[in-house]
Amino acid sequence: MLHIFVQNTYAQKKTPLHPFIGISSIYDSCQLACNLFSINRAELIATDNLDFQAVINEEECYSVPSGFQPGCLLEFRNQKWFLIRVVSGDTLNFHITNSNNYDIDAAIWGPIEAKDLNNSCAALTIFPHSCDYSFDHVNLNIFNPQQDDFYLLAVTNFSNAETEINLKQPEGGKVVFSYFCPDNISLNTPLFGNQKQNATNELKMSSILGDSVQIKAFGGHTVELLPGFSTEDKVVFEARIQTCLNTSENYTAPSENIICEDFSNHNLNTPHLYANKNANELVGTVFARTQPEYSAYDNVWKKMEKVGEDTGADRYWWAYREPYIFYSTVKLRSGAGCPTFTDTRTTYPYNYQGTEDTPIASIPPITSYANIQSPFYISSDLNIQKTRYDTYSMYLRSGLPNLQYRIEGGYWRNGAEDLTYYEPYNQREVHVTKIPSFTSTKDFYIDFTQDGGLTADRYLVTRNTCGGHFGNTTVFNRVADSTVYVHTYQADINVKMKLGDQPSNTIFGSCFFMGKMVPGVYEKPLSSLKNEYILDDKIYLRIKFQ
């Protein structure tokens, strides 16, 4: 599919005061700019127009997400961020001015996916919809928006000089601007248009009602008229002052419209709980449409974190990690008022981890190699030490005709099926080549052929567990070229993730092609694709080819 992103850029050569390296600030920590509008919705002020003081000397500090695309903004300091909601219009032309005609710049990103403010950070990783880095004006456009689309606007003060910036309605339509409620507001010029000015501590305006007139509003309680107050027409001034309240039209994110879901074991949401012996912690995952909650030892409900999207479905994969304290029951629910489900699996960490090398059958070498070029998915359970283990099923890519396989150098087996397989636990279809269950040692050789054994593709398979149910990791070490596939049951077949630096670029989200590796022991983190969430800090890999 071809995606075309329309952008408008106005640029004039300017020498940056310092190269763009993110944000440097006098503050020790900064708010993530794109989180202002999703996390702080109770402190957003919505307005048709807005006059505001330009930020100078980095007095307000914001950081940007990994992969941020600044577009034409070569210099990106003294930021002020706004949320734009489109009310009407096909082409919106914004003209942003300032009282002293100093050098300001601006850009618009969006629209925000699914009109959901929880996707704001993702919008900033795409090149701006419109951007202006010229010297003395800012002109921006939004083309073909939909009603109620959200966009992010950043206005920067390149000049680093005191000036007041005027944010007005665009030509060609109507929008609503929302801003994060500041501690203080001080303006020295008459207000333009219909504005909602609100501050937590102090609101101070000069030259609005007459010479030397100031109106100062404290914390939502009082109005003080300083000496010199006068109006030519003796207008009675009425001020209704209040602390910052949410005037952003009671927005609720689509992903937060809670629909109570079923989290009983082995249903379509498939909760998986295991106790990680390596990290002495509990780890749980579940599929859900909206952000679910869990409760462990302290009976306090906590939000789970999003790991990734279920491919081809309208749900996400969520997870939690909790320090292991004692044996307990973990509870799950969609949210307050929804049914509570208990995870019936044990929270006690298993002692056996299977990180040791085990005896492997001595078998003749391969002389003529095939290459099935397939990732792997394997279902087995290593929670106790045994001589032999059941493998419940193994998947390879679909489209492998006449596939035969043998375990530990035994006879060639038939029975591999190229099919569309319905997983009853997950209630989803997978298109795979499925190998029936078999029994083997923990570490074993597996060979594949498509020509009756004339050529074969051999893998030395090593397995281990983090110490709990569904905590297994299986490494397929390809003997022919020392390349490695890793399948970990801590990921999911339908969710793309990352193991170390390698994304799951295979058909299985839980399988990773690691390329050529040197024999040895490795530990790699298992994370969401952009490393927002670490599901396991140390996935244990044993690499060996003989």
pTM of this prediction?
0.61
Q: What is the pLDDT of residues 438-481, one digit of tens each?
A: 999 999 999 999 999 999 999 999 999 987 666 899 999 999 99
18 burial level (CB within 10 Å; 0-12, 13-18, 19+) = exposed
Half-sphere exposure of 196 (CA within 13 A, CB side): 18
Per-residue confidence at 33, pLDDT binned at 50, 70, 90?
Answer: confident
Which pLDDT score is estimated for 171? 96
- Whole-angstrom distance, CA of residue 315 vs CA of residue 320: 17
The answer to whether residue 116 sits within a structural domain is yes
The answer to whether residue 282 sits within a structural domain is yes
49 phi, psi to nearest 5 deg: -135, 165
The answer to whether residue 38 sits within a structural domain is yes
- Whole-angstrom distance, CA of residue 215 vs CA of residue 173: 33
CA distances from 360 to 112, 355, 407, 544 (A): 54, 15, 11, 11
Q: At 36, which helix (H) or strand (E)? A: helix 36-39
Which pLDDT score is estimated for 250? 61
Examine the domain organization and report whether 67 and 162 are in the same domain: yes
**Contact criterion met (CB below 8 Å) for 142 and 53:** no
Token representation of residue 126 = 């795409």
Q: What is the 3-state secondary structure (H, E, C) of 346-387?
A: CCCCCCCCCCCCCCCCCCCCCCCECCCCCCCEEEECCCCCCC
**Contact criterion met (CB below 8 Å) for 451 and 402:** yes
Q: At 488, which helix (H) or strand (E)? A: strand 483-488
The answer to whether residue 248 sits within a structural domain is no
Cis bond before residue 111 (omega within 30° of 0) = yes
Examine the domain organization and report whether 415 and 501 are in the same domain: yes
Examine the domain organization and report whether 330 and 427 are in the same domain: no
Position 245 pLDDT exceeds 50: no
Examine the domain organization and report whether 411 and 512 are in the same domain: yes
The answer to whether residue 253 sits within a structural domain is no
Which residue shows structure tokens 């307000």?
Answer: 60
Q: Which segments of 117-256 does DSSP mark as H helices, in order?
A: 120-123
Collapsing DSSP states into helix, strand and coil, what is residue 51? Answer: strand
Q: What is the pLDDT of residues 48-64, one digit of tens each?
A: 888 899 999 988 888 88
Q: What mean pLDDT do residues 497-504 have?
A: 95
Which range is least confidently modeled, 34-43, 435-444, 520-529? 34-43
39 burial level (CB within 10 Å; 0-12, 13-18, 19+) = middle
CB atoms within 10 A of CB 138: 24
Which pLDDT score is estimated for 280? 86
Token representation of residue 31 = 């708010």
Position 106 pLDDT exceeds 90: yes
Examine the domain organization and report whether 401 and 532 are in the same domain: yes
The answer to whether residue 263 sits within a structural domain is yes
Position 103 pLDDT exceeds 60: yes
CATH of the domain at 327: 2.60.40
Which residue shows structure tokens 């670490």?
Answer: 534
Q: Containing domain of residue 46, as a range? A: 8-191
Q: What is the pLDDT of residues 368-424, one digit of tens each?
A: 999 999 999 999 988 889 999 999 989 999 999 999 999 999 999 999 999 887 777
Examine the domain organization and report whether 151 and 34 are in the same domain: yes
Between 3 and 110, the more confident residue is 110
The answer to whether residue 446 sits within a structural domain is yes
Which residue shows structure tokens 């795979």?
Answer: 432
The answer to whether residue 153 sits within a structural domain is yes
Q: What is the 3-state secondary structure (H, E, C) of 102-117?
A: CCEEEEEECCCHHHCH
CA distances from 74 to 71, 190, 331 (A): 8, 32, 49
Between 25 and 341, the more confident residue is 341
Examine the domain organization and report whether 424 and 539 are in the same domain: yes
Position 222 pLDDT exceeds 50: no
Examine the domain organization and report whether 397 and 301 are in the same domain: no
Do the strands 130-133 and 8-11 form a parallel or antiparallel pair, or are they unpaired?
parallel
CA 120 to chain CA centroid, Å, is 10
Portion of the chain with pLDDT greater than 90, in percent: 50
Per-residue confidence at 29, pLDDT binned at 50, 70, 90?
Answer: low
- Whole-angstrom distance, CA of residue 113 vs CA of residue 149: 9
CATH of the domain at 129: 2.60.120.380
Which pLDDT score is estimated for 266? 64
Examine the domain organization and report whether 325 and 391 are in the same domain: no
- What length does the chain have? 546
Examine the domain organization and report whether 22 and 147 are in the same domain: yes
Q: What is the pLDDT of residues 336-362, one digit of tens each?
A: 889 999 887 778 888 888 999 999 989
- Whole-angstrom distance, CA of residue 526 vs CA of residue 491: 8
Portion of the chain with pLDDT greater than 70, in percent: 83
Domain count, the chain: 4
Which pLDDT score is estimated for 329? 87
249 burial level (CB within 10 Å; 0-12, 13-18, 19+) = exposed
Which pLDDT score is estimated for 26? 31
Examine the domain organization and report whether 436 and 486 are in the same domain: yes
Examine the domain organization and report whether 443 and 395 are in the same domain: yes
- Whole-angstrom distance, CA of residue 488 vs CA of residue 378: 8
Position 11 pLDDT exceeds 80: no
- Whole-angstrom distance, CA of residue 79 vs CA of residue 154: 6
89 phi, psi to nearest 5 deg: 115, 145
Which pLDDT score is estimated for 137? 74
